Amino acid sequence: MITVRTGSRPSVSDITAACADFTRDKGDGLLHVFAPHATAGIAIIETGAGSDDDLLTALDDVLPTDDRWRHRHGSRGHGRDHVMPAFVAPYASLPVLGGQIALGTWQSICLVDPNGDNPTRSVRLSFLAG
């Protein structure tokens, strides 16, 4: 398990390095990445070129932070945070070859956290040898 400090604002946190450390020396298989939270997800996206901010903007467009949500505890629009994992799943499974995650050139493994009410998140990593 890794701990990710996401802060008090919506965030996309690159956890690729921690995942790569976990799979190092494990051979071939599958890496499973799971965010055990009702308001966070795992995305495989390009980071550093604006795509992470674009993802947060797209989520705001599709799931606005307003008062339309029936789930109303927490900060304004928090109900949308509970719907977000239906759009950005809380898990991803990735191939590992020779201990290295087989990501594309620009792909990163990211924790997506739209919920500023919880500044620290956990991510569970597991490996299925192949």
**Alpha carbons 6 and 74: distance in angstroms, whole number:** 17
**Alpha carbons 31 and 12: distance in angstroms, whole number:** 20
- Write down all domains in the chain, each with its CATH number in brackets: 2-129 (2.60.120.460)
**Alpha carbons 128 and 61: distance in angstroms, whole number:** 37
- CA dist list (Å): 127 to 58, 95, 107: 31, 10, 19
pLDDT in tens, 37-63: 989 999 999 998 899 999 999 999 998
pTM: 0.91
Find the length of the chain.
130
**Alpha carbons 74 and 78: distance in angstroms, whole number:** 6
Q: Report the pLDDT averaged over residues 33-37.
A: 96
